[in-house]
Copies of this chain bind each other. A is one copy, B any other.
């Protein structure tokens, strides 16, 4: 049975292995807010499941099997559709939808998923700009660059903001770095890795690495 807990593991493993690396026990434990020993136990269970949901060798971290990835993508699709629905249709604030979506994603039916997808016109991105897997769980690979990689003279469009923290999201909103917004890099200090960024033709602002590494853009 694919429990809420299992779905949370799969979703997190998907996220941690996006870069091609394996997901370590500690990284999973931190992200899930669970003791490392508990993660080992669950990971062994996922690897022993029939069909197996993860590849696992002791001390080597885990990756998703094809089946595990499908299951993860299903949950991710639901999560992102829910976030979109909450903002677009129910009038939630964008900084506030993550928690609600995290609870709903485990209980909605296939019908519910289809109904909200249709109501939204099969959106391709959620309010934070994350791509939404389509009904066949295909996830568009988009060539996005972290804002932190840009240098003076470059222009770009904000694609997504990678954070679930309401306070962080509110701050980003206040700065105006929302998906779709145009920006230009005015200056860069390689000592403190601050960027001076002109956002939406407003006066330039200084953006620290803690923010710029969580904003993904498409370079012009």
Residues of A74-127 at the interface with B, using a CB-CB cut-off of 8 Å, are: 86, 89-92, 96, 99-100, 103-104, 106-109, 111-112, 115-116, 119
A91 — which chain B residues lie within 8 A by C-beta? 115
Q: Is the Cβ of B100 less than 8 Å from the Cβ of A104?
A: no
List 11 additional contacts besides A90-B115, A91-B115; criterion CB under 8 Å: A86-B112, A89-B89, A90-B112, A90-B116, A92-B115, A100-B108, A100-B112, A103-B107, A103-B108, A104-B104, A106-B107
Shortest distance from the beta carbon of A34 to any chain B beta carbon, whole Å = 18
Interface band, chain A: 10 to 19
**Chain B proximity of A98: nearest CB distance (Å):** 12
Q: Which residues of B contact A115 (CB under 8 A)?
A: 90-92
Cβ-closest chain B residue relative to A96: B111
- Give A106's nearest chain B residue, CB to CB: B107
Closest chain-B Cβ to A89's Cβ sits at a distance in Å of: 8
Q: Give, as a whole number of angstroms, the nearest-CB distance from A196 to chain B.
A: 38
Give A97 Cβ to nearest chain B Cβ, in Å.
10
